[in-house]
Structure 1
Amino acid sequence: MERRGVAEVQLAFTNLTWAFREQREADQGIDAHVEVDGLTTNPTGRYIAVQIKCGPTFFKRRTRIGWRFTGEPRHLTYWLANLMPVVLVIVDPETRVGYWVQITADAVRETDRGWSIEVPSANVLDASSRDTLRDIAFAAPSANPDPVAEVLPLLPPSTVEMLSALSQVDPDGARRLARMLSGGRDDPRAVVEPLLAASRGWVHATVARLATVGAYANDHGHQDLAMEAFALAAERDPDNQPRLRGIAAIMAITVGDRSQAAGLLRPVQGPQRAGTNLLMDVAVCALEADESGREDLLEKLLIDRSDGELDAEPTCLLFLAERAAGRGDFDQALALYDRVCERQPTSTGGRLGRARALMERLLRGATTLPFQDQQEVVALATSVRDDLRRWAGPSETVHRLLVQERMLVGAFMEVIELATPTAFGGQANDREASDPVVAIVGAQASIALDDRIRAVRFGDAMRGTPAEPLIRALAADPRQPATATVAMWRIALDNADTPLAARICLNQLASRGALDATDLDRVAVLANLDDGDRVAYTARNAAASGDHDGAVTLLRSAWSPAAGELLIEILREAGRYDEALAVCEETWTGYGALQALQEKVNILAIRGDLDAADECAKDLLATGELATEHRKALHRRLIERRATRNDWAGVEACCRAALKDEPTNRDHAWALIISQLNQNRWDAAWTSYRHLRPDVTDPGIVSAWVDLHLRFDNTPQARATATTLASRFAHEPHTLALLERLNNPAP
């Protein structure tokens, strides 16, 4: 039967004048190589590999479009990696007609026992298929010797590591999982849940495959599914059961499922459990520590463990780091995250965890080098976010950090751009833009820039979510009665479901003197409040209620950079400027808190000491730590102050300093040129203009531009530019008259 099939296929290709070259030696499922136009005087050198099957068996499974063919995994892996496009031909021995289909990854359907593909009845192997088969031969892509490698860039790092190891011992399983997991990366839960459900009765659900699924679920932020995958893997591997159960139990603890964790640990709980496995021991000890409130139990356990044993289990290190960060021990958390990153430099969890810990330390004012920490947060968060975006991971978790860090330094325009969806000119993808923290911070930045309309838009995007009441309260009309505003913030606090939301609500209520004694206790866990936070909110509430001295005493009792910054704000609002300036100096010199120096500039200006404010602004710029938009504002302030006093040499010096920060800023460029013209330094002004070439976008600049060209460059090209400018400023009669001077220069 097999030889009849080969003969019929050879005849069909010969009738097409294509060369049929049978492969008689042992092969992996390729019966012949066919060269397009190989029997003509112009052979193409383009080939198709052909697998031939003949017999009535192959025509029994009828489908809507033809017949279903099932095959072995080893053949499929070989065919998909072939240098030539592979065509399967099934031959009906009665009619002696062959039907074909190209073997591609998209056309194949995976099954529990192998794979299948439909062979269309319309694909008859005769002259009617000549053009289609020719196109296949000529469109053959370059071979990929490893089918898994093609999709690895679309998967998370730990999944890639697991798949790479799996492909060495189970290439068919690696290929199947790679296709499924990469294809479902936009909705990973929808891919993982059916896999786990089917795996209970799936003989192919090996430990390595389940562990790979678990790593994928964990990387995509679905720890509950990861826990289930590792628990199933533990059932199939008695030798590694303690370790796999330990991983599953740690993930259960992470998602707050203590009963599930206890169930996973039960086989090794009791007197004989010690030393069973590091992950098991840590999980058991963590449960006991949570029940007894004794975190030292974990520390005692780890004293006897070697660094090598700990470093070999990044999952354990990450778990311990998260616990340390949760109890406010950021130094310990950062040290553990560092060890994870040393062991696995591409670890998303390690890098993201370090960025989170640094950010939390910044927010609590517990850092010695705030600017250095800010820079590291931005670098780590940007790197992790870009990696997550590449494989459609949960990038919203790290995008929050970027938005919060930029808000912390007062980079409001950057915050708005980060929080705005790409469809509306921003930088956030759909998942990032729909994150409530991102939307809340975007609304905060909008209010800081007095853009309530934009803040309302962020609220509209959160319609029907717990974040909506908070954003509505932020964007509320400031003229409405104070009682109405407080009521809105109480509703927002009742709906708060993130630490950030709870803290914003507490701060807003405290700033209005409306914080109740029970509010702090009610949201203490959600807002992750420590003693310093309680003092800060209580002091703010006291100041808003008129007890400024009480607020000062409270803040002095729990002194920190954050307490210093709040005290400056309270004293400034109370008009106690001398005291506020003293605290600015104390906080800046003692902690390097940049906000204190910024407040000093503002307080000096409010008090009317403009020269001292300018000198302080220069010190502030010299730190190099300000956000870009703050640097712009300070440069502009220094330039305008000197211009109002006709100090043109001072303006020139300030413009040069500003242009070092922003070489392409046309406002600074024109301010420099005009300052030189006002000093009657025409040659210097012309040199600056030729070097900087700032565009003319403001009618107030036209006079200087015309004067320079009248004196140095009244050429046809300059007059053509003047014509363009005239159309730009067509509704400015005075500007048009100035431009006309180039066409009619004075004698």
Structure 2
Amino acid sequence: MTATSAQMERIGVAAVDAAFSAVGWAFREQIVADHGIDAHAEVDGLTSVPTGRYLAVQIKCGPSFFKSSTANGWRFREDTKHLNYWLANLMPVILVLVDPQTKIGYWVQITHEAVHYTGKGWWIEVPKTQVLDESSHPALRDLALATMPALPDPVAQALPLLPPSAVQALSALDTVDRDGSLRLAKVLTEGRARPRETVEALLTASQSWPHATLLRLATIGAYANEHGHRDLAAAAFALASERAPATGDGVERLRLRGIAALMALSADDRDRAAELLGDARATAGASLLADVAVRAFDADEAGRDDALESLLGAIGDERLDAEPTCLLFLAERAFVHGDLHSSLELYERACRRHPSIIGGRLALARVLIERVLQGRSVMPHPDQQKALELATAVRDEIRRWSGPSETAHRTIVQQRMIAQAFAEVIHLATPVASGGAAFEREATDPVVATCGAQAGMALGNHALAARFADAMRGTPAEPMLRAITADPDLPRDQTITVWRELLATATTPSATRSCLLQLATRGALTADDLTRHTEDANLDDEDRTVFTARTIAGAGDLDTAIVMLQPLTSPAAREILAELLHAAGRSGEAVAVCDDLWRRTHTLKALQDKVNILAESGDLDGAEDCATVLLASRELPAEHRSLLHWRRIQRRAAQGDWDGVQTCCRDALQDQPGDDITWALICAQLNQDDWDAAWDTYRQLRPTVGDSALVRPWAELHARFGPVPRQQALAAELAARFAGDQEAAEHLARLSAAAP
């Protein structure tokens, strides 16, 4: 007996329903007019964790569908109306051909790429190998899950707006607690402009949560820590430890309490740390983090690290590397204790094992800069470059999730200040709203503003420097900035009073050192000042000697200061020694000190000082040779490179060596193209009466006329080779711009009179 089409339809639907149900999918038949879709199949719809992801299914059953065979399956044809509907569907559409005898279904996804068009219609191949059973489950699952839902996943949307460790914790939470991940994703992203208030509110609310799970609290703790609120991070991880399972050996509880204790120690809350470590003392060896916290706490109490070092020596590298919190804590501890070598090693280990770690990369940059400052870097420039790259990458990442980027930006500004890239410092310290590169919180960071003011003063732009002080009006940093930007002609006694008052209120090592240096430079630093502020300024014995020598020199006794500095080897001491030797008229010795410093440290400032000493001593040939070495290094900031190029150009111009001027101009243009250098080249060509070359240079490089002194060569070139398009319009613009310059006006008038 031949089956009816209705029977065939039910056989097909039943076979497909059974195939999907066997793997836990929910099969929902479309009872009302389907327009080419017979059913929807939901991934894991029959399990306890349905996904909400579907396949749209078109079912065809009957022997007629298996008549058109191909080498690999069967050819299926249908009208174009159905094809357009399938291709426009928001869900992936699969066609299933069911053999009514075997009840086996064969499937293919309807895609534009799989369709073959004919003159009158289209067809698609259904492969024999794609059987609708458990073997096809992975491929069908991937197909359904790969399709983006109509509304984006809120958790996935939140991840780019959160710091890395919070992303990791929230992702883990999402796999076991969808409700918790959705709630935290919403709160943390909406409150990212106010992270402290957001975390405080969550911690308060968590007391009444019916499901304040370990992972929810750990996510909050990670978020708080990345935003720099270690006290709140300690509170969150402490609460998380209370939610850890009471069964088993309790290792997870100890681990979380260890993290909380390390956070508390970093926040200088020793009472809280002691409270958290009570259980850890009774279960030594159960948790590395807890053990490290206990040993660190006890080491601070006893003033020695023997027990901590013994513990670290006994554990394997793999176990330590698996705990980034532990690595960062130990690295920071080594840095605070002045052990830069150990600090760098630990930070580098943390970054290798956990490449996305924000705190590790930024701290590594900070330690590299400190190594350069202390003169302990074998290769200063590579260390500075690595620090700059690390800090820039971290800052840009933190800006993306609206985190506390001021620390990273501060590191970038400090690095450029060390390199004496003063113009860059000013740009970096200026707010974006004023054409700079600093976000609002970054621009109001005291260190950033101070560096901006110092850079302005270094460039001789007092008004620009004063703007940074004005921007910090009413903040604790204002007195320091006012002192930095004070009138250089202020009487000595008044200046000393200003810096001594600042010394009494300085709250950071860098601020204290700045005050001491200013007093020493004016010969006003006393032995009592050094004694009282040695610890505040992190001074060692050599630092004290340097400050003392600088004070003696400031009081006028250069020879005694030089004798004191000669045995010292630090870059800072050698730089000051060269300066004092030159001031004492002993320029040859000063140059020798610069050469020695360059040979030992490869510090560019040694060569820069040598250039200045040689030039001021009248040895222009020697100064130029040294400048050539500096330019060849490619490490010099742009503004200093420009200055050296100009010195070479001006020297040859003063000698009337116009061939030499052209050579120097071309070198400068290859290094730093600019209108001022282009005009110097044009003027050199005009001075050699090479009008054709000057005109070619002008037409190719098109320099703007930014100075009234350039109006004459511009007008003479156009008078000789004009007219050119817009010549009269440009002349009118120049006449308006330099209306107060009579000579410029006369040249432009002659040009206008000569025009046809």
Given the two structures, how large is their TM-score scaled by the length of structure 1?
Answer: 0.78
Q: Which moved more, 1:309-318 or 1:294-303?
A: 294-303
Cα deviation digits, residues 293-324 of structure 1 (max 9, x gap): 22343222111211110110011111111112
Residue from 201, 205, 209 that aligns with 2:208: 201
In 2: Cα distance, 1:457 partner to 1:698 partner: 26
Q: Partner of 1:454 in structure 2?
A: 464
Q: What is aligned with 1:118?
A: none
Name the CA distance, whole Å, in 1 between partners of 2:737 and 2:495.
Answer: 46
The equivalent residue for 1:654 is 664
Code of the aligned partner of 1:496: A
Residue in 2 aligned with 1:212? 219
* 1:221-240 correspondence to structure 2 within 5 Å: 221-237=228-244, 238=246, 239=250, 240=252
Q: Could you tell me which residue of structure 1 aligns to residue 384 of structure 2? A: 374
Instruction: Give the Cα–Cα distance (whole angstroms) in 2 for the partners of residues 693 and 456 of structure 1.
Output: 36
Cα distance 1:466–1:557, how it changes in 2: closer, same or farther (>3 A)?
Answer: farther
Q: Secondary structure at the match of 1:276?
A: coil
- 1:288 aligns to what SS in structure 2? helix
Describe the superposition over 1:528-586 as per-residue Cα deviations: whole angstroms up to 9, x where unpaired: 22333223222212222334344334333331222211211222333332221121111
Secondary structure of 1:149 counterpart:
helix
Q: Which residue of 2 aligns with 1:543?
A: 553
* Letter aligned with residue 585 of structure 1: D
Task: Measure the CA separation in 1 of the matches of 2:564 and 2:289.
Answer: 44
- Please show how residues 508-523 of structure 1 align to structure 2 within 5 Å: 508-523=518-533
Which one of the candidate residues 498, 503, 513 is aligned to 1:503? 513
1:734 partnered with 2:743 = yes
The separation in 2 between residues aligned to 1:443 and 1:245, in whole angstroms, is: 45
Give 2:646's aligned residue. Answer: 636
Q: Give the Å deviation of 1:683.
A: 3.3
C-alpha separation in 1, matches of 2:636 and 2:656: 28
Residue 27 of structure 1: how far off its partner (Å): 13
Please say if residues 375 and 601 of structure 2, whose CA atoms lie closer than 8 Å, have aligned partners that are also in contact: no
Measure, in 1, the Cα distance between the counterparts of 2:463 and 2:751: 44
Task: Report the CA distance shift for 1:455/1:685 in structure 2 as closer, same or farther (over 3 A).
Answer: closer
Q: Structure 1 residue 260 and structure 2 residue 272: aligned?
A: yes
Q: Deviations over 1:357-405 (max 9, x none)?
A: 0111122122111111121121111111111111111111111111111
1:582 aligned partner: 592
What is the 5 A alignment of 1:149-188? Answer: 149-188=156-195
SS at match of 2:606: helix
Return the alpha-carbon distance in structure 2 between the equivalents of residues 709 and 494 of structure 1.
64
Mark the CA change 1:524 to 1:244 in structure 2 (over 3 Å): closer, same or farther: farther
SS at match of 2:155: coil
Deviations along 1:137-171, one digit per CA (max 9) or x if unpaired, are xxxx9724522111211111111111111111111
Out of 461-470 and 180-189, give the one that drifted further: 461-470
Matched, 1:528 2:538: yes
Q: Cα–Cα, structure 1 residues 487 and 726, in superposed 2: closer, same or farther, change >3 Å?
A: closer
Q: Secondary structure at the match of 2:417?
A: helix
**1:649, CA displacement in angstroms?**
0.9
Matched residue SS, 2:438 = coil
Match of 1:436 among 428, 442, 446: 446
Query: Secondary structure of the residue that 2:482 maps to in structure 1?
Result: helix
Deviation at 1:641, TM superposition (A): 1.5
Cα distance in 1, alignment partners of residues 741 and 572 from structure 2: 51
Alignment of 1:253-332 (within 5 A): 253-269=265-281, 272-273=283-284, 275-332=285-342
Q: Deviations for 1:501-533, whole angstroms, at most 9, x for unmatched residues?
A: 111111111111222223234333332223332
Following TM superposition, by how much is the alpha carbon of 1:670 offset from its aligned partner in structure 2, in angstroms? 1.2
- Give the C-alpha shift of residue 615 in structure 1: 2.1
Q: 1:34 deviation in Å?
A: 14
Instruction: Report the Cα distance in structure 2 between the residues aligned to 1:553 and 1:300, rounded to whole angstroms.
Output: 44
> 2:665 and 2:261 mapped to 1: Cα distance?
61
**Preserved contact between residue 77 and residue 147 of structure 1 (Cα < 8 Å):** no
Aligned counterpart for 2:350 among listed residues 335, 340, 343: 340
Q: What is the deviation of 1:33?
A: 14
Cα distance between partner residues in 1 of 2:49 and 2:295: 49
Structure 1 counterpart of 2:547, which letter?
Y
Q: Which residue of 2 aligns with 1:671?
A: 680
Change beyond 3 A, Cα 1:720–1:558: closer
* Rg larger in structure: 2
CA distance in structure 1 between the aligned counterparts of 2:755 and 2:237, rounded to whole angstroms: 88
Aligned equivalent of 2:406:
396
Q: Distance in 1 between matches of 2:464 and 2:717?
A: 42
Match of 1:699 in 2: 708
The equivalent of 2:717 in structure 1 is 708
Partner secondary structure for residue 232 of structure 2 = helix
Deviations 1:593-640 (A, max 9, x none): 211111111111221222222222222211111111111111112111
Once structures 1 and 2 are overlaid, which stretch shifts more, 314-323 or 439-448? 439-448
Cα distance in structure 2, aligned partners of 1:520 and 1:250: 34
Matches within 5 A, 1:66-77: none
Instruction: Supply the distance in 1 between the matched residues of 2:479 and 2:738 (Cα, whole angstroms).
Output: 45
Paired residue type of 1:706: A
Q: Distance in 1 between matches of 2:51 and 2:401?
A: 24
Confirm whether residue 688 of structure 1 aligns to residue 697 of structure 2.
yes
User: How far 1:437 moved relative to its partner?
Assistant: 1.1
Q: How much does 1:688 deviate?
A: 2.3
Are the structure 2 counterparts of residues 552 and 386 from structure 1 closer, same or farther at C-alpha, using a change threshold of 3 Å?
Answer: same
Q: Percent identity?
A: 55
C-alpha distance in 1 between matches for 2:174 and 2:391 = 32
